[in-house]
Structure 1
Amino acid sequence: MAQNLIEKIAQRFAVDLEPGHEVHSGDYIMIQPAYVMTHDNTGAVIPKFRKIGAKKLFNPRQVVNTLDHNIQDKSEKNLQKYRKIEAFAREMGADFYPAGRGIGHQIMIEEGYAWPGTMAVASDSHSNMYGGMGCLGTPIVRTDAAAIWASGRTWWQVPSVAKVIFKGKLRPGVTGKDVIIALAGYFSHDEVLNHAIEFSGEGVAELSIDQRLTIANMTTEWGALAGVFPVDSRTIEWLEKRIEYVKKRGPAGVPSDADGHGEHPRLNDKRLEELKNNLPAPDPDAYYAKEIVLDLGSVVPYVAGPDTVKVTHPVTELARQNIKIDKAYLVSCVNSRLEDIKQAAEVIKGKKVASHVKFYIAAASSEVQKEAERLGYWQTLLEAGAIPLPPGCGPCIGLGAGLLEDGEVGISATNRNFKGRMGSPNAQAYLASPAVVAASAVSGKIDTPYPMQPETPKAEIKINPAPNRPRPQVNILPGFPEKIKGELLFCPKDNMNTDGIYPGKYTYIDDFTPEQQAQVVMENYDPNFRKMMKKGDILVGGFNFGTGSSREQAATALKYAGIQLLIAGSFSETYKRNAINNGFIVIDIPELVNDLKKQFGEDELTIRTNLQAVIDFIKAQAKVGDRAYGINPFGSAAQEIIIAGGLENWVKKKLGL
């Protein structure tokens, strides 16, 4: 059957598939990505790697370590952490980029790790950015990173794929940032939650690589697990220029340089020629769960916020409201590339930042800053009164200089404006394009250099019926149950956050036992939950179950309490990864959740349904009473991890430890 681009790349990087297995959305597969990137959190992955018992990296060339998050912190504690990470990378032979080289995601682009048609993962949610180069980039959790270090692989469930079709072209002054803000604001009801997105349409050709990287980066905030652009003449042209640049620059100073034998090991003419002769593309009749069409000509400069990406306004509307700002930011992996800095410099040239505003700037990498300096853009910003910061994440994640203080208002070219992320929870943060941020810094209030009449984006969405694919029986491995039976315990709340499941106050008590975890499970959500549940229950949650922090105990506590398996309408992807990585079965059955909401309502926090369910893994279905619900086949990749009791144990077994 036909495959879309996501499925084709997943097929290429899947390992240990059964003969004849064609990869499609919903499949659980083992993947061996081309690269795995970790940044400052390398320090947290190292002990997980050591705990597995591994003595060396499975493939040192697969591992990229960067330092980018907390580079302004010159305390001895942080410097010691950075030294330990560097020493580990050198001991293991991994490619390492020190503080000051740039943001890890930008390095992945600049050094050719995110290559078109390949798969690269990172222990960071903005690995979606690699999709701007036609590379399938998707986030993993730290346990996955340790597993890849030790075994070269981890598991992945291929997500549903949505196609976003761009028509027309952008007006002058409108940017990729405006496009993704428009999409996230217009389709703000989880339309693409946990989907992978493929961008297409004639409008794509009008978008530069910098704009594509911005859009792909913020598909994360839109709720997607990946956002991949087609590989086209723009991509090839960018690679040609980059290859010429690194020829003049020379090697990057990392171990993999040796593989190039005098050339760059990834960015070279031979590899580019191979790509030109085999451009990755979806099959013409590939299936997409949803199709979204956006007329680029209807997009105007937008601002998102305050404190959410999903509330958006044309900037001209906010400009009329005279919203005073205290700080402005041109920083982060989403909008600190050369094109972004140029836009801001053109707006601010010959002007001064308002006296009451502090305007912070940081390039995405040292190379971006060097080029911006050569072209005069950087100096233009400094002359206007901008405050430079080193190439790194900094205020975007609430670290270093320039954070928002109580009562302040900031406008930023970053990707997230959650309350408290960029400083005080009593501050307000708006998101906008570099040009709008620069104009606002000069005006001292939210403003635009390109006045345009407010306009609602011309966009539409179509949901396609699921394809009628044959559903062969699932092969069940020895040790994995063919069926699980139990009574349904229903917690109807949507967006159940991890703090409701497992209170944060217990998260960092290192000697908290499994039994103690079980006793406090759901304590913040429903204090009566423990009294109502019975060992062997099947818990059913609402939609987007497990949103919030990445604490693993939110999965293990339910397992330790005696819940056999967990069903939800949908899951936070981080929660799903943590659950399966800890040997706990989770299944999406949206139709069942909707039926239970109709039958029992949503007023009660926890409901004993008195309904018996049978989960048949061979037939890939769940039966509740007379109703049968199809489920995604729980394939051998996921079964192996459950049988082993979790991903770490699976890796130990694979390594014979």
Structure 2
Amino acid sequence: MFRLTSTKLRTRIPLLQQQQQQLRRSQSTSSSQQTLIEKIVQKYAYQQPANKRIRSGDFIVLKPEHVMTHDNTSPVINKFKSIGASKIDNPRQPVFTIDHDVQNKSPENLKKYSRIEAFAHLQDVDFFPPGRGIGHQIMVEEGYAFPGSLMVASDSHSNMYGGIGCVGTPVVRTDAAAIWATQRTWWQVPEIVKVELKGQLPLGVTGKDIIVGLCGNFNQDEVLNTAIEFVGEGVKMLSIDERLAIANMTTEWGALAGVFPIDKKLIEWYYDLLAKREALAEIKTHSGPPPSHPRLSLERIKALGRIGEELRADEDAYYSKTLTLDLSTLVPQVSGPNSVKLSTPLPELEAREIAIQKAYLVSCVNSRLPDLAAAAEVMKGKRVADGVDFYIAAASSVVQMEAERAGIWATLVAAGAKTLPAGCGPCIGLGVGLLEKGEVGISATNRNYKGRMGHPLAQAYLASPAVVAASAVAGKICGPNASSVPSDPSNFKPQIKIVEHPKPTRISSPSKADAQSTEPLLPNFPAVFGGPLVFAPADNINTDGIYPGKYTYQDDITPEQQAEVVMENYDRSFAQTVRDLYPSSSTETLPLPNDKNLTARAHRSRLTGNGVVLVVGRNFGTGSSREQAATALRNAGIPLVIAASFGEIFKRNAINNGLVCLESRELVRFLETQFAGQAKDGSTVATHWNLSLDARSGKLELFDPQHSSLKEPAVFQLQPIGNSVQEIFVAGGLEGWVKERI
């Protein structure tokens, strides 16, 4: 534990005064401009005031167009029932797609699938059975995900919908159950990053190479927990299938969404899609006109031109940073082994003569018709090398039908490919064909984490479909046209650039045009959060550091015991520090909590907003999804955590359990400066300052009650606490919020 001396602080007061002056100057500026993502989110923000424009960082109540669940529909059903719900509020909103463990024919798994199907029929929800395809592909080809709309799914690769100009983002299972019951959940609009694709791709370089190159060259968490908008002349050159692949793997890049514009090429793609669907329908019906599709119609596609114009990003819209990649400098890329953050130019790997034992053309990122066609073109008249197993699975049964009609499927099978049912399969380590100990595999999938596709001592690489096919034929990692890439290694490094943009500060009073500097407060929501400030200066404090794994499955641990072990693996003195600053005696005048999951401290914090305020570094709460990491902090008497940034799943779990989380890089940098040389990783700084946050305006003040070390309050501007978070906090968590609405 460290104490700040007044002498050291006085030397830093000029810096504080400069920051306060900059804050006052910046408060006089505001912009009504919005990004593409902000405009789409605006349409899906539930009961948003008409004059309030959605901004990055806003907490909103989100009412998505659709919510997709797959094999995890079963636990979502259990969660749905456990919160007291019995009827899905809008049966047209959820979509159930069975795609993960479709090779598993065990009685137990088949029974689970039958239960899901029966629940779907009971609730009148659209259900796609095993073998129909991967959920994300179904959402696109069946028109659920559509340009200008917003979709969520209980799966991390929801980002893929951004390839068609649809904001797609993941939610956790509790959120999915809440949406079933109420049609909505909460969401914080992420920081938005612009990714500019300049120039034109060289021959033989694909969209998969773009995203593998982005992951490998911007590999310092530049886009972690952000939403990405792709722009630039290079976008126009990309096919829609390439855009879908790139958007899909923005998940591996660390983003929560990756969205392409709604442009002429996309509209033409939809006309082609409609024609293909009608042709397939005619084959099925054999006579008469095909039945009209419930979502893909000529009228809806004709409207896309207008929608694209309306949803174009404004010229002066704010992006936190701009990342630029010159496509003309890109060569084919291979990711790995066992990491998407490591990408290597294909020519370098070819020179290493890396033998492979397995190759895969499967998954939602690269098993659409153009992907299968690219592989078939490479393999035409050839055979898979001896000692290599090559597995293929179409993204959907529709894709497989098209590939069969075009002769593509037959070409791959004739070359020695082993077929799997449309579904996830080896990509997630399920079914046949997994990597065994010591084997090397190359795959057109999206993840190659250690042990994901088989044995943890195997090596997995990622590449484009053509490179995977060529490698399967050669028995080693190589491309179909090695001679077409530059021979000079200095030409292998793509040209990239990153520019960060200062964040504009919100204005100090609302205007008629954009009343967003304050948030109305709900009854019983604290107007002010405050108390002693504790600073944990480390970055990447994971959930095990917050709540040790050895306690995670001890179901008999009480809320009081949770509070005693909180942050134990980070700093064993943390819990005692919090108890000293916020003793139990401070709660004696309040009624006892009627919630058995709350301590007296947590109860008082919920009623008053008072308690110990924890300020932490970057990516706080990374790691596992254990909810106790949030509830332990809450039960210690911490009502508010402020971080430079959060792990997204931790933030969702925290707010779902009534723990408010806000971000302020400026506050963290200021505290790091004040405590430079004193605070170290693994230590807690008891500042002996107090913190006060105005929940309506987001104005935060640091002050010294003794007026000895901090002569003037330090002022910072944070995001006001949105209505969605207020509702959940007052209800005692998301489950309570849902129960109030069913």
Give the Cα–Cα distance (whole angstroms) in 2 for the partners of residues 328 and 178 of structure 1.
Answer: 17
Matched, 1:556 2:631: yes
Q: Distance in 2 between matches of 1:385 and 1:532?
A: 65
The residue number in structure 1 matching 2:295 is 266
Check if 1:497 corresponds to 2:542.
Answer: yes
Q: Give me the whole-angstrom Cα distance separating, in 2, the residues matched to 1:132 and 1:95.
A: 23
What does residue 488 of structure 1 align with? 533
> Taking structure 1 as reference, are residues 167 and 587 closer, same or farther at Cα in structure 2, changes over 3 Å only?
same
Structure 1 residue 528: deviation in Å? 4.3
| 2:665 maps to 1:628 | no
Is 2:44 aligned against 1:13? yes
Choose the corresponding residue for 1:603, options 670, 680, 704.
680
Contact 1:251–1:264, Cα closer than 8 Å, also in 2? no
How many residue pairs get aligned? The number is 648
Deviations 1:557-579 (A, max 9, x none): 22123322212110111211111
In structure 2, relative to structure 1, the CA distance for the partners of 1:299 and 1:553 (3 Å cut) is same
- Residue 202 of structure 1: aligned partner: 233
Aligned residue for 1:61, secondary structure, equals: coil
Question: How big is each residue's C-alpha offset from its partner over 1:306-345, in whole Å with a ceiling of 9 and x where there is no partner?
Answer: 2211111101111111222222111111111111111112
Distance 1:77 1:517, change over 3 A: farther
Distance 1:144 1:160 in 2: 21
Partner of 1:258: none
**What is the aligned partner in structure 1 of residue 725 from structure 2?**
638
Equivalents in 2 of 1:228, 1:526: separation in Å? 40
Q: CA RMSD in A?
A: 2.0
> Percent of aligned positions with the same letter in both sequences?
58
- 2:62 is aligned with 1:31: yes
Specify the alignment match of 2:598 in structure 1. Answer: none
Per the normalisation by structure 2, the TM-score is 0.84
For the 8 Å contact 2:350–2:477, the answer to whether it is kept is yes
CA distance in 2, matches of 1:588, 1:331: 39
Give, in whole Å, the separation in 2 of the partners of 1:138 and 1:100.
Answer: 24
Work out the CA distance in 2 between the residues paired with 1:54 and 1:555.
25
Can you list the C-alpha shifts for 1:631-652, whole angstroms capped at 9, x where unaligned?
A: 1111112111111111121121
Q: Equivalent residue for 1:77? A: 108
Q: What CA distance in whole angstroms lies between the structure 1 residues aligned with 2:431 and 2:421? A: 10
What's the offset of the Cα at 1:251?
10
2:169 aligns with one of 117, 128, 138: 138
What is the match of residue 736 of structure 2?
649
- TM-score, length basis structure 1: 0.95
The aligned runs of 1:110-149 (5 Å cut-off) are 110-149=141-180
Structure-2 separation of matches of 1:431 and 1:532? 48
Note the C-alpha offset of 1:17: 1.4
Helix, strand or coil at the partner of 2:450? coil
1:286 to 317, 323, 326: 317
Which of 535, 551, 566 is 1:521 aligned to?
A: 566
1:276 Cα deviation (Å)? 2.7
Moved more, 108-117 or 345-354: 345-354
Q: What displacement does 1:498 show?
A: 2.3
Q: Which stretch shows the higher mean deviation, 355-364 or 468-477?
A: 468-477
**TM-superposed deviation, 1:130:** 0.2
Q: Relative to 1, partners in 2 of residues 1:251 and 1:499: Cα closer, same or farther, differing over 3 Å?
A: farther
Judge which range, 3-12 or 626-635, deviates more: 626-635
> Residues 401 and 515 from structure 1, CA distance in 2 versus in 1: closer, same or farther, beyond 3 angstroms?
farther
Q: Is the 8 A contact 1:26 1:633 kept in 2?
A: no
Instruction: Give yes or no for contact 1:382–1:388 (8 Å, CA) kept in 2.
Output: yes
Q: Residues 443 and 526 of structure 1: is their aligned pair in 2 closer, same or farther, counting only changes over 3 Å? A: farther
Runs of 4+ with deviation above 6 angstroms: none
SS in 1 for 2:651: helix
CA shift for structure 1 position 209: 0.7
Distance between the aligned counterparts of 1:4 and 1:68, measured in 2? 34
Q: How does 1:507-546 map to 2 (within 5 A)?
A: 507-510=552-555, 512-534=557-579, 535=582, 536-546=611-621
Distance in 2 between the 1:335 and 1:507 partners? 37
Instruction: State the partner residue of 1:220.
Output: 251
Structure-1 separation of matches of 2:714 and 2:171:
35
Residue range with higher mean Cα deviation, 507-516 or 102-111: 507-516
Q: 1:651 to 1:269 in 2, by over 3 A?
A: same
Distance apart, 1:509 and its partner CA: 4.8
* Aligned residue number for residue 20 of structure 2: none
Q: Deviations over 1:439-476 (max 9, x none)?
A: 22222222122321242111212212223542433322
Whole-angstrom distance in 2 between the partners of 1:473 and 1:193: 28
- 1:462 & 1:230 partners in 2: Cα distance? 21
Structure 1 segment 140-289 matched on structure 2, within 5 A: 140-250=171-281, 262-279=291-308, 280-289=311-320
> CA contact under 8 A between 1:489 and 1:606: conserved in structure 2?
no
Q: How does 1:47-86 map to 2 (within 5 A)?
A: 47-86=78-117
2:334–2:461: 8 Å Cα contact kept in structure 1?
yes
Offset at 1:522? Answer: 3.1
**Structure 2: how far apart are the matches of 1:252 and 1:375?**
15
How far the C-alpha of 1:511 sits from its partner, in A, is: 5.1
1:466 aligns with 2:503: yes
Contact 2:697 2:719 in 1 (8 A): no
C-alpha deviation, 1:526, in angstroms: 4.0
In structure 1, the gaps of 5 or more residues are 254-260
CA shift at 1:205, angstroms? 1.2
SS in 1 for 2:741: helix
Which has the larger displacement, 616-625 or 230-239? 616-625
Pairing 1:359–2:390 present: yes
- Specify every segment of 5 or more residues in structure 2 that has no aligned partner in the other structure, as ranges: 1-31, 285-289, 509-516, 583-610, 704-712
- Paired residues of 2:570 and 2:683 also in contact (CA < 8 A): no
